[in-house]
């Protein structure tokens, strides 16, 4: 009966013959187990006649979920990644959910999950993060075809209030983007979601427009190719190429060897802020080749950091 419940919780419809064959049981035993599930509160829907099937009704209050071994391990590992901070403000929630999942896993699976956790490390996120609340608000507005208003900071740090018809949220190269129809500009636009704030869902609903692309993801990828980064930054490290490469997980840009003790890092970036932080936390000696604006920005940042530590023990 538990195996039957596990199959039904997959969401698909099953004929009686399919279930009986899958469970290696008789149609009579199958019908009896279906009745027992209903007595326990599981709403199993039955359609009789040719094409008849069994299906578990979705959206009902259900007793504990049954998972295959690999499904349980996949969920636990996904929560582990989330708890390591790959998305803003979900780490604590993911850690709590992970503890609950581990408590109900059979001993053999709990040992597998803990073994993989012990043998796995992740690096801190090195890209702009987006809050789960923002993703939730924008996702709900997109799904319900509701207008969305929000404050937006563009590449030049100019701030505007935008009114859009949201279409899809798209994750490209570790960044979240919103693809939407901009009501004030009368055209499709993409917005970096880490630059969005104060989202407000408007009243009423709109009729979704036809997207002039195969998919939202392809539209965003092609659009990004038309907008080159604002800055090309070049840095020379006083360290072997292999050493720098080992510290730059998930890095963009290009590393080239100068000699056995030096290498050059070239990268395109939208802002100086993130690059200055990334270079500083590597713990390696480096010299900025250019541009001069990045040199000046780094000098000012270093001065602010020095002033903030004056008089400290």
Domains of the chain: which residue ranges? 2-56, 69-118, 132-225, 231-309
What values do phi and psi take at 301, rounded to 5? -65, -45
Residue 187 pairs in a beta bridge with 182
Q: What is the pLDDT of residue 123?
A: 59
Question: In whole angstroms, how far apart are CA 266 and each of 221, 232, 233, 253?
Answer: 22, 7, 6, 5
Query: CA nearest 168: which of 207, 142, 200?
Result: 142
The DSSP call for residue 14 is B
Please give the chain's pLDDT, 313 residues, in tens: 778 887 887 778 888 888 888 888 898 888 888 888 888 777 888 887 766 788 887 655 455 556 677 887 788 778 776 665 556 566 677 777 777 777 667 777 778 877 777 777 665 555 667 888 898 899 999 999 999 999 999 877 789 999 999 999 998 877 889 999 999 999 999 999 989 999 999 888 999 899 988 899 999 988 887 766 678 899 999 999 988 888 875 456 788 999 999 999 998 887 788 788 888 888 899 999 999 999 999 999 989 888 888 766 5
Query: CA nearest 253: which of 261, 244, 262?
Result: 244
Pairing of strands 262-269, 159-172: unpaired
Q: What is the pLDDT of residue 162?
A: 96
pTM of this structure: 0.55
Domain covering 132-225, topology = SH3 type barrels. (2.30.30)
The Cα–Cα gap between 235 and 225 comes to 24
Q: What is the pLDDT of residue 88?
A: 59
Q: What is the pLDDT of residue 201?
A: 94
Q: What is the pLDDT of residue 229?
A: 66
Report whether CATH 3.30.1490.20 matches the domain 2-56: no
Q: 208-243 as b/e, with b when 16 or more CB fall inside 10 Å? A: eeeeeeeebeebbbebbeeeeeebebbbebebbbee
Q: What is the pLDDT of residue 58?
A: 64
Question: Within a 10 A sphere around the Cβ of 46, how many other Cβ atoms?
Answer: 12
The CATH number given to 231-309 is: 3.30.70
């Amino acid at each position: 009966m538990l195996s039957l419940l596990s199959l039904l919780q997959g969401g698909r419809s099953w004929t009686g013959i399919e279930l009986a064959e899958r469970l290696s049981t008789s149609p009579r035993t199958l019908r009896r187990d279906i009745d027992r599930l209903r007595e326990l509160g599981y709403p199993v829907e039955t359609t009789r006649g040719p094409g008849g099937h069994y299906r578990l009704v979705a959206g009902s209050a259900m007793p504990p979920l049954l998972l295959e071994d690999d499904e349980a391990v996949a969920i636990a590992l996904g929560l582990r990644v989330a708890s390591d901070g790959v998305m803003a403000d979900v780490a604590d929630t993911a850690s709590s959910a992970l503890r609950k999942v581990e408590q109900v896993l059979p001993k053999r699976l709990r040992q597998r999950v803990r073994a993989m956790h012990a043998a796995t490390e992740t690096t801190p996120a090195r890209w702009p993060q987006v809050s789960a609340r923002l993703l939730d608000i924008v996702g709900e507005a997109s799904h319900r075809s509701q207008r969305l208003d929000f404050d937006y900071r563009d590449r030049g740090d100019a701030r505007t209030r935008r009114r859009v018809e949201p279409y899809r949220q798209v994750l490209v190269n570790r960044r979240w983007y919103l693809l939407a129809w901009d009501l004030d500009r009368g055209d499709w636009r993409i917005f970096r979601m880490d630059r969005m704030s104060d989202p407000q869902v408007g009243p009423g609903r709109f009729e979704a427009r036809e997207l002039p692309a195969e998919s939202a993801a392809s539209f965003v990828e092609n659009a990004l190719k038309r907008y080159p980064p604002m800055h090309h930054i070049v840095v020379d490290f006083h360290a072997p190429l292999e050493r720098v490469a080992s510290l730059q997980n998930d890095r963009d840009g290009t590393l080239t060897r100068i000699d056995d003790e030096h290498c050059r890092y070239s990268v395109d970036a939208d802002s100086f802020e993130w690059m200055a932080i990334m270079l500083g936390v590597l713990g390696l000696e480096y010299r900025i080749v250019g541009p001069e604006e990045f040199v000046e920005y780094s000098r000012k940042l270093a001065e602010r950091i020095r002033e903030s530590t004056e008089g400290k023990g």
